Amino acid sequence: MKRLVILGGGYGGLRIIERVLSPDLPDDVFITLVDRMPFHGLKTEYYALAAGTTPESHLRVTFPNDPRLTIKYGEVTGLDLDEQIVNFTNGDTISYDWLVIGLGCEDRYHNIPGAEQFTCSIQSMGSTRNTYSAINNVNPYGTVTVVGGGLSGVEMAAELRESRPDLNVRIIDRGQSILSPFPKKLQEYASQWFIEHDVQLVSMASVTGVEPGVVFNHNQPVESDVIVWTAGIQANRIVRELPIETDNIGRAKLNQYHQIPSHPNVYVVGDCASTITAPSAQTAEIQGDQIAMILKKDIKGEEYPPSLPPLKHKGFLGSLGKKEGFASMGKVSLVGQMARVIKSGQLWMYKKHMG
């Protein structure tokens, strides 16, 4: 018996399972999916759970049901790449012939004092539940501050404005504009939306510290009932601690086949993989397609192709509440209701397909 172990039932891990579980999979190969949750969580939509506009049940997708697939629930504590063993918090271990690491990312706090201890997160289902609870307990006229004006921060603040019009909402960002990596048209549209919906935008910020109920911008205190952190990510701790080469945010540097060069039977997908494209569900799925293809050749002892096509996004979608949004597809930027409809449709199709 040979075993393929996939750590993490996220976008990349599920895409690999979907592709590898084909009729031509050899009978002696068994697949084990490891996850700490009994379902796939739609992480791109966690902001809506935190804001209270979408129930958790709508963000769950069941894992595949296949006799060739075993699902093990647990928390990974470490990997021994040489011995080919995965270690768990309860003392269990799993050995593997091939390993896929898709453990996702964690918040990056940039060594800012108090940021990790005194802010809320939307990086995991568990932390998002806690963020929802914290926001839900804020009294009318209270204040919620979102630190970070990227896609996650913008969607979080917009959804919160719609769900809690009684609250004061602000975004603190270090750039000149929110959504700074995106086309100017989208930056201006989102900024105008927030101005019209009475969300305070604080630009050119420098968060120097966080205390209970206070975030310090250029050392000046800014009071807030809840502080939500969306100001950067880093690879999962398990990957950051491996004796391998990583980039500046701890993601594994890989060869052209998405393998750890020193251990080519170990693949890395999603936010743990150092790629030229920004971390996203789309990147993870494109990677997943390629990894599945190489894995199937590995399993059958076939030669790899000389090269793989570059990872290329089709575009991206973002929401401003439930009625408006923005999109970028190639050289085309789209704003307004149609962009939001497209995003809702894409989410519906994904859930229907995976479910």
pLDDT at 200 over 70: yes
| Cα–Cα distance for residue pair 287/12, rounded to 1 Å | 7
pLDDT at 34 over 90: yes
pLDDT at 355 over 60: no
Q: Tell which residue, 104, 83, 113, 78, has the closest CA to residue 95.
A: 83
Mean predicted confidence (pLDDT) in 239-251: 96
Confidence of residue 59 (pLDDT cuts 50, 70, 90): very high
Reported as a single tens digit per residue, the pLDDT across 135-172 is 999 999 999 999 999 999 999 999 999 999 999 999 99
> Would the CA dihedral through 155, 160, 161, 163 be positive or negative?
positive
pLDDT at 353 over 80: no
pLDDT at 205 over 80: yes
pTM assigned to the model:
0.94
Q: Tell which residue, 128, 179, 137, has the closest CA to residue 158.
A: 179
